[in-house]
Structure 1
Amino acid sequence: MLSMLEVKNLVKRFGSRTIINDLSVKVNDQDILSVVGPSGAGKTTLLRCITGLERVDSGKFYWDNQEFDPTDANPQNMIIGVVFQDYQLFPNLTVLDNITLAPKLVKKADTKDVKRTAVELLERLGLAGKENLYPYQLSGGQKQRVAIVRALAMNPKVLCYDEPTSALDPELRDEVAKIIIDLKQQGMTQIVVTHDMDFAEKIADNILRVEQLK
């Protein structure tokens, strides 16, 4: 039986303003869901709710029909990984240290194992030999891939992206599309928030359109 992420009856308000009202969505195992819509429609808010960065006013989250809390900080319960729009790499750490920091601190993983996994992931995403560089020495596309590797190093079930192509030129946009499709073929379930409809259609199995609430 395929695994599935399910969001049921999600409601999110900021003060008196309702941003998301009774939204339900399912993402099947290894599928790519693109979330599209105009600015202010709640795309990033939805992503922040799914990844546990925002608490919801009501609604439930399920993985494999088991309810979970995205805000639960227990690393054993980690379902969702996230790649941020601005990458959020630590400028004072090397590529390798950026990737291995969370698995070592949060998951208490063995340093040797974490480094081996990081090097394998870097190689998989075309970043072999970049382990000892600092973020300022990387291009935008390379930073994007390091951010993806860092998220993958935590071994999430679902990987979410917030506007992964917003700062990239068309050639790099195609490169990110290829990475996302390659990860799907390797078994990763993904959710991509984007304003770029062409990009969304290129990568997605399903598209969720969100509208600004009146």
Structure 2
Amino acid sequence: MLEIKNLTKTYDGKLILDHVNLTIKDDEILTIVGPSGAGKSTLLRCISGLEKIDGGTFLLNGEPFDPAETKQSEAVIGVVFQDFQLFPNFTVLQNVTLAPTTVLHVSAADANREARDLLDRLNLNGKEDLYPYELSGGQKQRVAIVRALAMHPQILCYDEPTSALDPDLRQEVAKIILGLKQDGMTQIVVTHDMDFASAVADKMLRVEPV
């Protein structure tokens, strides 16, 4: 369980997040919604440790936790970025196995085996040797999810996972997220798509501009 207490974040003296309090239970899907500029993505970046907070505390399973200071090898929180951030000069398989082998020090054989299992599970079998430019938007999205899962995070975060997808692919992403919930994955989804948010959420947080 992740607890956030009185989280505050400013940029250049402007208050973006004002004493946010939030509890995310294990296996729960939280969606964060709100208008552009309200701080949705900033909140996600603070939770994932990509931004340092100005005030407040995090508790993970009741223990103090600083996402910005936690060693990457602990793989507590994974992130699926809006623009996927796949390495263009790496194949799908190389994109997925890079972090497990270099950060977690998993053997190449084990990393490849797990990557292929995850790719197969998300209907990406046969795409292992393709490069990102050869993939559709939906396929890139799934590769980004597989890459995050390969690090065995406790919590998986998504930043606008449906922003570039058509309605059919949005439903596909919803099925993936709900399927991961059944496997016990705690997930946080930032989205402007209220229909999508309602379809996957156990809990919804609406943020407004400060």
For residue 52 of structure 1, report the CA deviation from its aligned partner: 0.6
Question: The residue matched to 2:141 in structure 1 has which SS?
Answer: helix
The within-5 A match list for 1:1-214 is: 4-213=1-210
Aligned length: 210
For residue 156 of structure 1, report the CA deviation from its aligned partner: 0.2
Moved over 6 A (4+): none
RMSD of aligned residue pairs (Cα, Å)? 0.9
For residue 33 of structure 1, report the CA deviation from its aligned partner: 0.2
Measured in 2, the distance between the counterparts of 1:95 and 1:60 equals 37
Alignment gaps of 5+ in structure 1: none
For residue 73 of structure 1, report the CA deviation from its aligned partner: 5.0
Q: Report percent identity of matched pairs.
A: 62
Note the alpha carbon deviations across 1:24-67, whole angstroms, 9 max, x for none: 10111111000000000000000000011100001111111111
For residue 85 of structure 1, report the CA deviation from its aligned partner: 0.1
Aligned letter for 2:89? N
Aligned letter for 1:153? A
Q: TM-score, normalised by structure 2?
A: 0.98
Measured in 2, the distance between the counterparts of 1:54 and 1:189 equals 21
For residue 111 of structure 1, report the CA deviation from its aligned partner: 1.1
Aligned letter for 1:99? V
Note the alpha carbon deviations across 1:152-210, whole angstroms, 9 max, x for none: 00100000000000000001011100100001011100000000111000000000000
Q: TM-score, normalised by structure 1?
A: 0.96
Aligned letter for 2:85? Q
